[in-house]
Structure 1
Amino acid sequence: MDTKRFRVVGVRDEDADDYHLYVTNLSREEFFPADLAQIYRCRWEVELLFRELKTQYDLDEFDTSNEHVVKILLYAALLSLLVSRDLLDLVTEQADDELVFPPERWAATFRSHAQLILHELGEHLGYSPPPLLERLIEDAQKIHKQRPILQETLATATQPRCES
């Protein structure tokens, strides 16, 4: 008969004046109870991170089987998440101390303002794209090999312009 032994470990949370209970298969010699509480906190943060990536960045539903497209979408989501968190840190510093910004609500707020954020960032960096209509007419007249490659366009578009 295959059996496994599990233990319930209680860790006292002095701030809340109660105990947090954890189920583990680790022996008493393999960890300290406070370490176990930290492991569970980190694991919970990872769960919340994946939940945010799935709900706000649609990482659970890729509309492609192309490995390269999936990687690009994954990198774009992770970069967006990093920018979002950095901006949240800035907002938290500037806001009143009693204000709270739950991560999922912040992620939805960031997502709904992403276009405006990119526009403001572009202006701050001195980037002004060519007028859309002219760009569409020009690009539609080019044969495929003459169209700029996305990476080249992005590299040149993100370079700050020198002001004379």
Structure 2
Amino acid sequence: MPRKIVSVFGSSRTRPGTQEWRKAEEWGRLVASAGFALASGGYGGSMEAASRGARNAGGLVIGVTAPNLFESRSGANAYVDVELPAPTLTGRIERMLEMSRAVLALPGGLGTLTEIMVAWNLAYIQCLQGRGPLPVAVDAAWTPFLHPHLELGESELELLTPIGSLDELREFLKMLS
């Protein structure tokens, strides 16, 4: 398995033909075009769209599924080359973060927000330990939820890179090489 993997988090509710689907597919294409394998939760929605984009660009697609958690899902989407089942939701997220050079988060719901928070917290801990943090980029749609408040300050926010355009995504991916 290649060492250069970017994990993409996103909604399972995204439907084909929507603007969100097209965005996820384009993000997947850009990840593969930049020379990275793409890992996702492996199911439908944005995960499938990103997988499709990566596969169509010649990239390797890894699906980290959770069959015990999502028993109603019939397995990984058709664009997944390698399926890696995880026993739990947290195990799934942990596995994706361990294998990844960086994380991208598309728009999504509670599951995607959870994935962002775990990745962000890992990046924060890595900084506290004096290590380089895991690069975490989030679609600009998340920025209204991510602002200084409570005990969250600017230094923590600087661990996230908002992505508002395909050019910004290209620059983020270029920074990883």
Structure of higher RCO (CA pairs closer than 8 Å, 6+ residues apart):
2
Instruction: State TM-score, norm by structure 1.
Output: 0.27
* Higher radius of gyration, 1 or 2: 1
Name the structure with the higher helix share. Answer: 1
